[in-house]
Amino acid sequence: MLGVRIPPALSSENKEKMPGTQRYVVVSFLVAGALVWATLARLFSSLAYMLSLPDPALIGSGFTATTLVGLLGAGAAVFLSLRSRRVRTYSDEVVAELVKVSWPDRQETKRSTVVVIVTSLVLAAMMGVFDEVWGTITGLIYS
């Protein structure tokens, strides 16, 4: 084909995988939206309290007007983010790169975990010994 190399991210076999990866993008945006909602609801509730503004309960005692404003703000942020071509392109590229990552198998993960735990215990013991030695030395010097 005239020596033109098509990048793997643009090949036809990856185009078929893209709808499957789109769900990861959408789910991550929804999770981020839930976090933004919780943050905005708290922020608006605190702001209403500081300004002595009423915050009437709309549904039960937990869903107030500030919670609704936070939900609308978070929904707008998610909607605008999903509609933004730059944000979607970036998130699609992130998912495409994560699909290419070779994740360790279960056995390798277990071995690595054991190495980390043993190393941490050995270093903690060494630091404990050093602390005891230096504590004894400084105790002799200052007494």
φ and ψ at 138, to 5 degrees?
A: -70, -30
pLDDT at residue 1 tops 50 = no
Comparing C-alpha atoms, which of 29, 133, 119, 10 is closest to residue 74? 29
Average pLDDT over the chain reads: 84
φ and ψ at 102, to 5 degrees?
A: -95, 105
Comparing C-alpha atoms, which of 102, 97, 101 is closest to residue 8? 97
Task: Compute the distance between CA of residue 74 and CA of residue 67 in angstroms, rounded to an integer.
Answer: 10
Express each pLDDT in 16-25 by its tens digit.
Answer: 444 667 777 8
For residues 73 and 36, the answer to whether their CB atoms sit within 8 Å is yes
Task: Compute the distance between CA of residue 81 and CA of residue 29 in angstroms, rounded to an integer.
Answer: 8
Averaged pLDDT for residues 105-118: 96
pLDDT at residue 93 tops 70 = yes
pLDDT at residue 15 tops 60 = no
Confidence of residue 3 (pLDDT cuts 50, 70, 90): low
Express each pLDDT in 26-57 by its tens digit.
Answer: 888 889 999 999 998 889 888 888 888 887 88
